[in-house]
Structure 1
Amino acid sequence: MGDIEDPDSSGARQSALLSVLPSKEFATSRKGMLLIAEVGLSFISFLCFAASAAAAFVTVPLLEFLGAIFLLFAYSTKFNERFKGFCWPLMDFVRCVTASIIYFIISIMAVSKYADGSSKAAGVFGFIATIVFALDFYLIFNELASFLKQGGESTEEPSAHQDNFSDSDSD
């Protein structure tokens, strides 16, 4: 008797899954593609470091994976518009700068110090992640710089996926 499923239950499961995934418009945007690449590269790098002799470096890809997946979720669900306590572009900029520097350092160490193949693969994926994170912080920097050149007079934050400034600052 328990073998028959309610036809609505599969639709409910599918809508729950779709609510967690980023929207198609965000996933195809420049920021969405960069965040998806950061999540993917960080996860692959995490797996390679976990399987290698350089397992001491596994913390960096794990933290960057969690940070990138949080921001992917926040931007795709527009959580940043509801929580205005942080300057989201600046937080994202600092995350990308630190990630690119640390990925570059651990990738050099993984490639030069360890001889096993998974350490070399982790280093290569780390170098690719360094490039993606550096591209992301370069684009964020350009958006922040153009916003600051305008003197902050615009009502929109630098990124198209960011929330509006509150008008309480002008009171």
Structure 2
Amino acid sequence: MADTTASSPAANCVEKLKSYVKTQKGFILAAEILISFIIIICYAASAYGGYSAVAICEMIFAMVFFGLFMMEMDKQIQVINWVWTDLFRAGIGAVLYIITSLICVIGGAGDGARIAGGVFGLIAGILFAYDTYTIFLQVKSTRQHTAASTDDGV
């Protein structure tokens, strides 16, 4: 007879997902994935679909980092400094979203889907910039706590 008290791996993964989305970092990454998906839809409906490349790349990167942090693989794979990698991902995403969104909003006359994608892109740029800021604060706080003493006195 099967043991019904043991949790299945799928249930364990769903529990990790639920608990990680409740954290600040998990909520930000989930919001980044969702808004990137909305931007992809807007640009796909536009006459100029080439702007969707930024949204696709940033959504994939956010999904990868969401999975890594949710499954706590960042603690197992210590070859890469995940905090700095995430900082660069979020910073580059913020800059790219703001640039492409301004281009779409300014030059999107007559194409409502392109303008909508640009507006959502500006919101995504602000979200990615906020993510960058929170990661920067995390880096700054860990540097202050782990700073070595420079006092040569005995």
Q: Output the TM-score relative to the length of structure 2.
A: 0.84
Deviation readout 1:123-146 (Å, 9 max, x if unpaired): 111011011101100010011012
CA 1:77/1:132 → structure 2, altered by over 3 Å: closer, same or farther?
same
Q: Please name the residue that 2:91 is paired with.
A: 97
Between the aligned partners of 1:21 and 1:38, the Cα distance in structure 2 is: 21
Q: Do residues 43 (structure 1) and 37 (structure 2) align? A: yes
CA RMSD of aligned residues (A): 2.0
Deviation readout 1:64-92 (Å, 9 max, x if unpaired): 00000001111111111121111001000
Q: Please name the residue that 1:110 is paired with.
A: 104
Q: Post-superposition shift, 1:50?
A: 1.7
Map 1:151-170 → 2, pairs under 5 A: 151-152=146-147
Q: Output the TM-score relative to the length of structure 1.
A: 0.76
Q: Do residues 126 (structure 1) and 145 (structure 2) align? A: no
Q: Do residues 33 (structure 1) and 65 (structure 2) align? A: no
Counterpart amino acid of 1:42? S
Q: Percent identity?
A: 31
Q: Please name the residue that 2:13 is paired with.
A: 19
Q: Please name the residue that 1:138 is paired with.
A: 133
Counterpart amino acid of 2:142? F
Kept in 2, the 8 Å contact 1:22–1:72? The answer is no
Deviation readout 1:6-29 (Å, 9 max, x if unpaired): xx9xxxxx9637636852221111
Matching residue within 72, 78, 87 for 1:84: 78
Identify unmatched segments of 5+ residues in structure 1.
Answer: 1-7, 9-13, 154-171
Between the aligned partners of 2:50 and 2:15, the Cα distance in structure 1 is: 31
Between the aligned partners of 1:17 and 1:65, the Cα distance in structure 2 is: 25
Q: Please name the residue that 1:3 is paired with.
A: none
Between the aligned partners of 1:73 and 1:36, the Cα distance in structure 2 is: 10
Of residues 144-153 and 46-55 in structure 1, the stretch that sits farther from structure 2 once superposed is 144-153
CA 1:67/1:152 → structure 2, altered by over 3 Å: closer, same or farther?
farther
Structure 1 segments of 4+ aligned residues over 3 angstroms from their partners: 14-18
